[in-house]
A = this chain, B = another copy of it.
Amino acid sequence: MARWQPGARERLQAATIELVAEQGFEQTTVAEIASRAGLTERTFFRYFADKREVLFTGQDEFAAMFLDGIAAAPSDAEPLAAANHAVDVVAADFFPPEHRSYARQRQAIIDAHPGLRERELLKLAGLATAMAHALQERGAPPSTALLAAELAVTVFRVAFTRWAGDPDDRDLVAVLADVRVELGALTGAVTPP
């Protein structure tokens, strides 16, 4: 038997999403996921440590993309512009329109399970801290770096929620742009220019 199955990772992800949507996260076993994907349990464990990992795979790459995006921003970009640049790079690369359905179903599962939601929140909190460090390395003062990073992640979270929950076919980068315009309008309404 070949040790590597073409597309096995994606088939296991799709099978997990399907089964969890049908019967819940707790009720779904690794054996069922492997079977639905037409693979063995042994193959499952070659890719993932457990069923939770299926939903959180790629996290390190995900976080690294934000940091790479900050590093790749124009050297004269202000802290928030650099953080926003990183968010846009991730939005375009990690969430293209064809991944919307998977991202949406995954999010519905996460929102329905407090334990998974917890892990997702921790991931995003760690992301803002890491981005703040990356902005400091570009010369931003620590307090500005943290505010810009937290703000960029907040905008990302709000835009992602809207994108995942909205029946429109607009892409995430466009939704991000909308949220930033609304943010400017909201803050402009209470902060004198």
This protein's copies in its complex: 2
**Chain B residues within an 8 Å CB radius of A84:** 190
Q: Output the least CB separation between A159 and chain B (Å).
A: 9
Bound-state CA distance A20–B74 (Å) is: 45
Segment at the interface with B among A64-72, A96-104, A139-147: A139-147
Residues in B whose Cβ lies below 8 Å from that of A154:
150-151, 154
Chain B residues near A121: list those with CB within 8 A.
Answer: 118, 121-122, 125
Which residues from chain B contact A182 at a C-beta distance below 8 Å? Answer: 143-144, 147
In the complex with contacts A121-B122, A122-B118, A189-B147 CB distance below 8 A: no
Q: Digitize A134-171: 1 where CB-to-B-CB distance is under 8 Å, 0 elsewhere.
A: 00000000011011101100100110011000000000
Are A191 and B180 interface neighbours, CB within 8 A?
yes
Q: Is the CB of A188 within 8 A of B179?
A: no
Q: Is the CB of A189 within 8 A of B146?
A: no
A184 proximity list for chain B (CB < 8 A): 187-188, 190-193
User: What 10 new A-B contacts, CB under 8 Å, besides A118-B121, A187-B187?
Assistant: A80-B187, A81-B190, A84-B190, A118-B118, A146-B158, A146-B161, A148-B186, A184-B192, A184-B193, A187-B188
